Amino acid sequence: MSESPYQKRRILRLSKDQTQRADARENRRRLVEAARSAFASGESVALEDIAARADVGIGTLYRHFPKREALVAAVYHDQIEDLRAGADALLAWHAPLEALRRWMDLFAEWATAKRGMVETLAAMRRSGALDFDASRGEIEGILATLLAAGRDAGVLRADADPADVRSLLAGALAVAEDPTQAGRLFDLVLDAVKAGRP
């Protein structure tokens, strides 16, 4: 049975809607990726520059992210998802101790990539526009998975607390003079949570 003109128009409209949604998803992905790269420079970057890096118009950026804060929040959450995916991949390919240590390096990269967002994130924290307690909880949840794998393998202390480890990593990054020293401090954190330590 042949399709009626109405059915044909409906199919064309649905096809067009799907194409537009796919284009919108791709534009959003490119904007977040361009913003991540721009913010990692540590400098304040104009939204027009981010749109240009993503090869979209400024109107497209504002359709997805009406305010700078919305773009910063998207990048921030995207980075946390990378930390989660990184932990899963590392546990799939490495022993728990090695996975945890490599994840610490991912954590350092995540912290570094936030340099150009610091002022906006601070303002969002003050205004309550971004729930930092929830974000901290997500990171601690990722660490809990890594620590549990180490405990199950008998190589990490049973009392290693995800919140404590997160605080140690953040503190190490705050005081480290360069990435090499940060790496050494991370090695000490790993040694502190190994099984058999008092």
Q: How far is CA 187 from CA 42, 98, 111, 162, 180, in A?
A: 26, 11, 18, 16, 11
- 124 and 50 belong to one structural domain: no
Question: What is the C-alpha radius of gyration for the chain, rounded to an integer number of angstroms?
Answer: 22
Q: How many domains does the chain have?
A: 2
Q: Give the CATH number, domain containing residue 52.
A: 1.10.357.10
Residue 29 above 80 pLDDT? yes
- 82 and 39 belong to one structural domain: no
Is the Cβ–Cβ distance between 58 and 51 less than 8 Å?
Answer: yes
What is the rounded (10 degree) CA torsion for 62, 63, 69, 75? -110
- 39 and 105 belong to one structural domain: no
pLDDT tier for residue 4 given thresholds of 50, 70 and 90: low
**Mean pLDDT, residues 56-74:** 86
Query: In terms of residues, how long is the chain?
Result: 198
Please report the pLDDT score of residue 91 as a whole number.
95
- 17 and 81 belong to one structural domain: no
- 35 and 102 belong to one structural domain: no
Which residues does 196 contact at the CB level (< 8 Å), separation at least 6? Answer: none
- 45 and 96 belong to one structural domain: no
Please report the pLDDT score of residue 165 as a whole number.
93
Q: Which amino acid would we find at residue 133? A: D
**Mean pLDDT, residues 166-190:** 89
Please report the pLDDT score of residue 136 as a whole number.
84
Euclidean distance between CA atoms 161 and 159, whole angstroms = 6
Residue 125 above 70 pLDDT? yes
- 17 and 3 belong to one structural domain: yes
Neighbours of 99 (CB within 10 A): 22
Domain that holds residue 52: 1-66
- 94 and 132 belong to one structural domain: yes
- 29 and 14 belong to one structural domain: yes
Euclidean distance between CA atoms 59 and 77, whole angstroms = 23
Q: Which amino acid would we find at residue 78? A: D
Element (DSSP H or E) covering residue 160: none
Euclidean distance between CA atoms 3 and 47, whole angstroms = 47
Please report the pLDDT score of residue 154 as a whole number.
92
- 105 and 49 belong to one structural domain: no
Please report the pLDDT score of residue 16 as a whole number.
47
The torsion angles phi and psi of 194, rounded to 5 degrees, stand at: -70, 150
Euclidean distance between CA atoms 41 and 167, whole angstroms = 25
